[in-house]
């Protein structure tokens, strides 16, 4: 792990969403230097399912060696931001660093995303980041080495990252556009950068998205905290960068990344917006129309399309065989513990509609529509379906990379993933 240097001693950090997760990890790292931390977050009372409040975070920060100012802030409310900034300046004499960490997520398609969810993501991710930056900037400009750090990705315009969760992608890229614009607008005065993890990070949000067991595919929040610390201790001339955590830490001399893993040695899940086939870890945003690697990948995909289609014709047996094995493996225990009907819309020569019924007595699986309305509808290619059911493609990874689209009950989809783990040996 990256050692502390003491460079943030006496500095004041205003961190949104710092009551738990990544925001709190960054706060604790800075607190070890003796920094002042403004915890700008919503949770003042204990949450029924999420651990931590602004007050429990404050206690941890002070135990780590820092000074804490807990402030109730919903970044959707401009006046709450203004009040917290005024209180921070009154308490600590100024603001040196802003970390825009607060974020909302809904991994749903355009027709499945309720308007209130769209508003939430745009208000928190884009508008909240913009307004908090705007409110802090007059004070940041008075600091000797001011920084704004947004937890947002490089703007990869590969359509894969838009088609399954268009609203979420727009909102996260909105945060990145704040970096692009403000870095240039305040060049020489305030450093403005973006930080994004190379792999999934274990947080409460990831638990909700991925379910039990997902943590083994994740890294700890410590890796983001170390990377953020590295950025925030650089001079303000270091600006306009879109940084990937692991890449930066390797440059800083970190060699052992197992220390950041929840389960050392276990395969890690790549994070959103980073193409698996390309090295999307460049500093500056390459071009304004997306990376050259993405464009080349698209050309390659088009040139091989005919070959892929002809290969799909050989998949008649694998898909049918997969459902035959699933049918034979269904038990009353699976039905009792799952209570869900899954419909698969497969593309390719052996495409069409298939189903797994784990709700009605005895269960069933086969081609055609299920006997009752499906609780979950999954869409993917027949090739990827076979890979997923034979353990060669993890469902979570398939979903994140756009190979799998899910509509309906996400909790049931997670239950099916657990069943797949048990079926892999038979398929």
Residues that are catalytic:
168
Handedness of CA 302, 307, 309, 312 (dihedral sign): negative
342: enclosing H helix or E strand: strand 340-347
**Residues 384, 348: contact at Cβ < 8 Å?**
no
Please provide the DSSP assignment of 43-67 as one string. Answer: --S--SSS---HHHHHHHHHHTT-E
User: CA 207, CA 203: separation in Å to the nearest integer?
Assistant: 6
Sequence-distant (≥ 6) Cβ neighbours of residue 358 within 8 angstroms: 330, 334, 335, 338, 339, 340, 341, 342, 416, 419
Strand, coil or helix: 196: strand
- How many degrees, rounded to 5, is the angle at CA 407 between CA 165 and CA 355? 140
Report helix angle 78-92 to 129-140, nearest 10.
30
CA nearest neighbour of 264 among 226, 223, 217, 214: 217
């Amino acid at each position: 792990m990256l050692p502390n240097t003491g460079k943030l001693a006496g500095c004041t950090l205003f961190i949104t969403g710092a009551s738990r997760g990544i925001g709190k990890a960054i706060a604790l790292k800075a607190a070890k230097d003796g920094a002042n931390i403004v915890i700008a977050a919503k949770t003042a009372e204990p949450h029924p399912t999420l651990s931590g409040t602004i007050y429990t975070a404050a206690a941890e920060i002070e135990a780590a060696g820092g000074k804490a100012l807990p402030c109730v802030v919903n970044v959707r409310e401009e006046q709450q931001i203004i009040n917290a900034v005024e209180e921070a300046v009154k308490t600590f004499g100024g603001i040196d660093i802003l970390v825009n960490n607060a974020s909302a997520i809904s991994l749903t398609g355009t027709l499945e995303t309720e308007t209130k969810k769209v508003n939430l993501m745009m208000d928190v991710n884009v508008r909240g980041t913009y307004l908090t930056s705007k409110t802090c900037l007059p004070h940041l400009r008075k600091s000797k080495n001011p920084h704004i750090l947004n937890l947002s990705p490089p703007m990869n315009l590969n359509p894969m990252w838009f088609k399954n969760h268009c609203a979420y992608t727009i909102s996260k890229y909105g945060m990145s556009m704040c970096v692009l614009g403000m870095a240039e607008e305040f060049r020489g005065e305030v450093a403005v950068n973006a930080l994004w993890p190379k792999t999934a990070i274990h947080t409460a949000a990831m638990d909700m998205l991925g379910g039990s067991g997902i943590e083994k595919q994740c890294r700890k929040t410590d890796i983001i905290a170390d990377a953020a610390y590295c950025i925030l201790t650089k001079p303000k001339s270091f600006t306009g960068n879109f940084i990937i955590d692991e890449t930066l830490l390797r440059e800083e001399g970190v060699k052992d990344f197992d220390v950041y893993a929840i389960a050392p040695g276990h395969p890690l899940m790549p994070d959103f917006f980073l193409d698996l086939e390309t090295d999307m870890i460049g500093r500056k945003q390459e071009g304004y129309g997306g990376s050259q690697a993405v464009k080349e990948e698209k050309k390659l995909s088009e040139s091989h399309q005919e070959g892929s289609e002809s290969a799909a014709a050989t998949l008649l047996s694998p898909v049918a065989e997969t459902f035959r094995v699933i049918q034979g493996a269904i038990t009353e225990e699976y039905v009792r513990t799952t209570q869900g009907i899954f419909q698969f819309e497969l593309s390719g020569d052996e495409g069409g509609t298939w189903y797994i019924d784990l709700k009605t007595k005895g269960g069933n699986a086969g081609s055609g529509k299920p006997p009752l309305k499906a609780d979950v509808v999954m869409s993917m290619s027949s090739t990827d379906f076979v890979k997923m059911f034979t353990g060669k493609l993890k469902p979570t990874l398939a979903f994140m990379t756009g190979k799998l689209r899910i509509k309906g009950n996400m909790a049931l989809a997670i239950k099916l993933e657990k069943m797949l783990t048990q079926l892999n040996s038979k398929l």
